[in-house]
């Protein structure tokens, strides 16, 4: 099974399935899960820092819209991971006390950023297609996007599993950003590979537009504070 198919499995089998029944956890078990989620968020920050830097730098150098969009999405995920670390820290220090208003505000901010990113990509892609301007192939961008596919699959699966056990909508929403990042990685890989193989000037513009529906979908779910990104 390919990595792209694996990412589909994460969304189809885990996200779109009915939320698992949250059983009462012993305080020690819950704390262990919170600490694992905490480590996952720090791992996310580490990888997203590399991903954002490489994608943005190589995307700007190559004039690639898909890479720039990929890098900007990574920046958004960095912000999301930072918010989750704050929430997890609150629970570790004070117990099970998540702030619902803070979660909703953070979700709306993330949703607004995703809508803005979708608008930017749409305008830039249409301009690229109108002016018939392509982009140069970027090996660093291609490699980081390729590595991101299995990385995002792992992070998404673990975050979803923990979110279901502790009943955290915020962590589940963060996991869905990892799922979306996996899809964006696949779009980047396919777009760059096709451009390298065939040299078609329109590949970057079309590939960028393929990302927009993912960003709008995720943005709507973040804005409405939904738990699952497949509904």
pLDDT tens digits, residue range 19-40? Answer: 444 456 777 788 899 899 999 9
Q: Among 130-134, 158-162, 201-205, which range has the highest average pLDDT?
A: 158-162
pLDDT, position 50: 96
DSSP 3: H
Task: Tell me what the mean pLDDT of segment 46-69 comes to.
Answer: 91
pLDDT at 229 over 80: no
Average pLDDT estimate for 45-58: 95
User: How many angstroms separate the CA atoms of 77 and 79, rounded?
Assistant: 5
pLDDT over 60 (residue 8):
no
d(Cα 141, Cα 83) in Å, to the nearest integer?
Answer: 27
CB 146 within 8 A of CB 7: no
Residue 69: CB atoms within 10 A of its CB come to 28
The overall average pLDDT reported for the chain is 79
Q: Per-residue pLDDT averaged across 69-81, rounded?
A: 87
Average pLDDT over residues 187-214: 80
Q: What is the DSSP letter of 113?
A: H
CATH of 3-13+29-224, one of 3.40.720, 1.10.10, 1.20.1510, 1.20.81: 1.20.1510
Give backbone dihedrals phi and psi of 133, rounded to 5 degrees, phi first: -110, 125
The DSSP letter of residue 11 is I
Q: Which residue did the predictor score with more confidence, 24 or 149?
A: 149
Q: How far apart are CA 210 and CA 187, in angstroms?
A: 8
Q: Are 83 and 75 in contact (CB under 8 A)?
A: no
pLDDT at position 226 is 59
- pLDDT, one tens digit per residue, over 87-113 is 788 777 766 655 566 667 777 777 788
CA dist., res. 162 & res. 196, Å (int): 40
Alpha carbon distance, N-terminus to C-terminus of the chain: 25
Q: What pLDDT does residue 24 have?
A: 67
How many angstroms from the chain centroid is the CA of residue 149? 11
Give the lowest-confidence range in 89-98, 103-112, 155-164, 222-231. 222-231
Burial 4-37 (b: 16+ CB within 10 A, else e): beebbebbeebbeeeeeeeeeeeeeebeebbeeb
Q: What is the pLDDT of residue 45?
A: 96
57-61, 138-142, 206-210: segment of lowest average pLDDT: 206-210
Please tell me whether residue 158 adopts helix, strand or coil conformation: helix
Q: What share of the chain is helix, strand, coil (3-state, %, to 5)?
A: 85, 0, 15
- Tally DSSP H helices, then E strands, for the chain: 7, 0
């Amino acid at each position: 099974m390919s990595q792209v198919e694996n990412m589909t499995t994460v969304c189809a089998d885990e996200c779109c399935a009915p939320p698992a029944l949250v059983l009462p956890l012993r305080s020690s078990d819950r704390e262990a899960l919170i600490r694992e989620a905490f480590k996952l968020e720090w791992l996310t920050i580490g990888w997203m820092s590399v991903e954002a830097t490489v994608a943005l730098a190589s995307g700007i150098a190559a004039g690639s819209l898909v890479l720039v969009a990929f890098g900007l999405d990574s920046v958004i995920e960095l912000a999301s991971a930072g918010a989750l670390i704050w929430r997890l820290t609150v629970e570790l220090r004070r117990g099970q006390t998540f702030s619902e208003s803070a979660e909703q505000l953070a979700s709306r901010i993330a949703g607004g950023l995703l809508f803005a990113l979708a608008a930017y990509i749409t305008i830039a892609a249409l301009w690229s297609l109108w002016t018939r301007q392509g982009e140069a192939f970027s090996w660093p961008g291609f490699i980081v996007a390729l590595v991101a596919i299995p990385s995002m699959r792992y992070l998404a699966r673990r975050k979803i599993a923990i979110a279901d056990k502790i009943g955290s909508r915020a962590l589940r929403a963060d996991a869905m950003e990892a799922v979306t990042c996996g899809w964006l990685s696949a779009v980047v890989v396919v777009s760059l590979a096709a451009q390298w193989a065939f040299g078609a000037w329109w590949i970057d513009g079309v590939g960028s537009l393929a990302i927009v529906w993912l960003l709008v979908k995720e943005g709507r779910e973040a804005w409405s504070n939904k738990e699952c990104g497949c509904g």
